[in-house]
Structure 1
């Protein structure tokens, strides 16, 4: 057999054996390690995995070799070089050491030289680690790097193998087939890894474009959160059209807000959701998946929905609802789950930003109204006239009234914060009521019966004072006899209710229906609708105000807020009568 025929035969067999390399490359591309390789440093466990994985690949390169002239024509360098690309010089050398030791145990006059050569190939691959991580190494570059590594291996065989004549003869026969086969194997391995990574990036880019497109088209429909059913319904139809899901549902914490797609003939808005995975998502705040019709849990026998991804909708750190993407007649993929999670995250951010914008608008309006109401000439002139009258009859009383008026204005005119302690809010109430009582004497009475433990509860600023003001102006003043206002509290687990009750003239039934509607009470201080809207925007739709009233008997307003507190700096009792 001629030298050319021998080299051709060796090359053919080595290239044929590279099928194992392709298999290893495919297995690696499917691992979670590879998916995060380009984006995060490797942990110690992941580095150990690389050494074991590519150590086996390098050793396999020896098993897949061809025995010739007391040596082995092999593809062992593929594992060492690619390990260096992925893990750096140390990983490359360690893998080369594993492959080299295995080769050394097989003996032969090139055993030591081959062991050193494999380690050198791993080191060479490691020198290009940063370039590979930055995706600057393609199949062409990696072929050249592999060829250089194999040429150096051939030189090492000549230097360290004896007799030298046999080493030269061996290299003349195996060098070209080994250089081509190993370089091609390295190039093929890198090509597979790069193609998988590019495909992953394309999928992520497509998801990102789709998610942003959905966000842009639905932004106007979530300005009111989940409260506006028709708007949410329209948003669900857009999501259905864009994602290709079989059906889309949007829920709050208890019921379906909107449903679009297959199954809409029996999945109706307003009904409680039945899927256990939805409850799991609401409770845990994580994406949940139902992969079978049984897990979906629809009681309608012919319901076409067979799988669902449920992703949480969050704002203010709380789960307020869920987005559900249903599918029929096919299994859920990781892409479906990732897409649902991406859309829900963007929608949550969208709702949060809308709520913050509305909250800022309401706060500005509340502060402006508070400013206008409290510097109302009638209130100011009446207070000053009262103080003036006391300067003659009771100077000490006049002094106290002046201090109260000053403190009242300081509180109401300060910018403050969205939330203040109940103690601060009650202080403002007491100052206001003290000034009004100075004018009307025993006609007014305020009883505050709130245990000291609740004084650190946080509530929106300008919450209680408007209610007391409304009770005085519209409940007590129209009476011709003594009026009383009670301020009390009750709590239930993580909810606190502040109750403002008066024995005034009450509110007619028709007017009572309008009091909490937007815009009612404009021009007369902070309307109660504004107070309720601010509470809902800060804490969520399940909080706010409720009112009950009976003509000639009185009115009761209940403020419902979450029980969240701050540490108090003072410890004074708050049971008092004014």
Structure 2
């Protein structure tokens, strides 16, 4: 919503300030009755139309999104025809005069190359075609021309030149937001790949070594551990979706812990206390396992006796509260702050900072990791997961 409002402020409001002809060429919006002045009605109509044109463009500039957007943008301009192009072809033409597509594209070479708007006459021998004049407004993102908006009318109009330029700015802002969305998705995917890459080769080798040690003495146990290893790696390297459910994430954690317990035996004691009602809650994929791995590593480090780890997931009203505690060596709080800030990255630290960054990106800064620790006092990690967040679904991507 914030991106749309930004685009609206940049592009639609200047149309209204310029005295754009929408109020003179369109009827009053239905449902408004006799309330308001003609200017107010034009404003409402413009905002309403723009709100419907923005969502398709947030998916980028394709034939389908251009077609859906053009259908909304043409009434915004009140022209007989409007087309959206990329750098090579007309993606969508709304209105009359579609036979001018090739001529329009031939005349776009200059505007697409320079990024400057242009207006020109169109020769047409068809007596029933009102298209005699066209205004070209380039669509630019980060100073690169991605295409053009072309508004066609029966005759010259200085107001249409200004209006087309402002609507093109609105479209450009939406395309820039679409680029940001794609960049965010690529960033999240890169971070997940980084987490996958952190699955320690030592963990893999140690797990396989433990499995091999049971092959002769306890074949059934070896088979169970091999299945645990296969399920854990299958989940960790899955390719669909940025989000998962708390149930699936905890299931992967159990596979991981089964392999660790097989290696360390009685040295590792784990307690899980999970409220069933929070199991469907969605969260970023591969979010809890790095935290549990951190608890195992630091819980066992420098200790000869058993390490106790406690994992709880509780219902906290509008949130699910996940807490991972260990009674290990703990850490200096100053070092921990530097790790989360990316200023220090000892073994295992990248996992903590990665998870913290992703939680903040998805839910906001007030939902980053809460860590409590001190030397010799173990560590407590708290994760607050909103039960409902627009765009966060376990079966899809953020959007």
Tell me if TM exceeds 0.5: yes
Which residue among 423, 446, 450 is the counterpart of 2:247? 423
In the alignment, which residue of structure 2 is the partner of 1:498?
A: 322
In the alignment, which residue of structure 2 is the partner of 1:198?
A: 157
Within a 5 Å distance, the mapping from 1:318-357 to structure 2 comes to 342=170, 350=176, 353-354=179-180, 356-357=182-183
Q: After alignment, is 535-544 or 422-431 more displaced?
A: 535-544
Within a 5 Å distance, the mapping from 1:288-327 to structure 2 comes to none
Q: Separation in 2 of the partners of 1:551 and 1:454?
A: 32
Tell me the secondary structure at the aligned position of residue 26 of structure 2. Answer: helix
Q: After alignment, is 540-549 or 458-467 more displaced?
A: 540-549
Q: Does 1:207 align with 2:33?
A: no
Q: Separation in 1 of the partners of 2:288 and 2:166?
A: 48
Unaligned runs of 5+ in 1: 1-28, 46-85, 87-129, 138-193, 213-341, 569-578
In the alignment, which residue of structure 1 is the partner of 2:332?
A: 508
Shift of 1:352: 6.1
In the alignment, which residue of structure 2 is the partner of 1:366?
A: 192
Q: Does 1:539 align with 2:363?
A: yes
Shift of 1:380: 2.0
Q: Separation in 2 of the partners of 1:348 and 1:433?
A: 46
Unaligned runs of 5+ in 2: 1-18, 34-77, 79-126, 134-153, 395-399
Within a 5 Å distance, the mapping from 1:542-561 to structure 2 comes to 542-561=366-385
- Residues 443-495 of structure 1 show CA distances to partners (whole Å, capped at 9, x for unaligned) of 11222212111111111111000000011112333322211222223454433
Normalised by the length of structure 1, the TM-score is 0.40
The answer to whether the Cα contact below 8 Å between 1:359 and 1:534 also exists between their aligned partners in 2 is no
The answer to whether the Cα contact below 8 Å between 1:421 and 1:456 also exists between their aligned partners in 2 is yes
Tell me the secondary structure at the aligned position of residue 518 of structure 1. Answer: coil
Within a 5 Å distance, the mapping from 1:19-418 to structure 2 comes to 34-36=24-26, 134=130, 198=157, 200-208=159-167, 212=169, 342=170, 350=176, 353-354=179-180, 356-370=182-196, 372-374=197-199, 376-418=200-242
Q: Separation in 2 of the partners of 1:438 and 1:458?
A: 30
The answer to whether the Cα contact below 8 Å between 1:476 and 1:502 also exists between their aligned partners in 2 is no
RMSD: 3.9
Structure 1 pair 540/131, CA: closer, same or farther in 2 (3 Å)?
A: farther
Q: Separation in 2 of the partners of 1:519 and 1:356?
A: 27
How many aligned positions are there? 261
Q: Separation in 2 of the partners of 1:357 and 1:531?
A: 18
Structure 1 pair 448/356, CA: closer, same or farther in 2 (3 Å)?
A: farther
Q: Separation in 2 of the partners of 1:439 and 1:30?
A: 74
Shift of 1:199: 5.1
Shift of 1:526: 5.2
Larger radius of gyration: 1
Which residue among 448, 451, 463 is the counterpart of 2:275? 451
Tell me the secondary structure at the aligned position of residue 556 of structure 1. Answer: strand
Which residue among 307, 324, 332 is the counterpart of 1:483? 307
The answer to whether the Cα contact below 8 Å between 1:386 and 1:439 also exists between their aligned partners in 2 is yes
Q: Separation in 2 of the partners of 1:347 and 1:531?
A: 31
Tell me the secondary structure at the aligned position of residue 380 of structure 1. Answer: helix
Normalised by the length of structure 2, the TM-score is 0.56
- Residues 358-412 of structure 1 show CA distances to partners (whole Å, capped at 9, x for unaligned) of 4412422422441x333x4322221122122223333222221111011111111
Shift of 1:207: 2.9
The answer to whether the Cα contact below 8 Å between 1:456 and 1:567 also exists between their aligned partners in 2 is no
Greater helix share, structure number: 1
The answer to whether the Cα contact below 8 Å between 1:520 and 1:527 also exists between their aligned partners in 2 is no
Shift of 1:555: 0.8
In the alignment, which residue of structure 2 is the partner of 1:473?
A: 297
Greater strand share, structure number: 2
Structure 1 pair 441/520, CA: closer, same or farther in 2 (3 Å)?
A: same
Q: Separation in 2 of the partners of 1:346 and 1:430?
A: 48
Q: Separation in 2 of the partners of 1:536 and 1:349?
A: 25
Structure 1 pair 522/459, CA: closer, same or farther in 2 (3 Å)?
A: farther
Shift of 1:551: 1.9
Shift of 1:135: 6.2
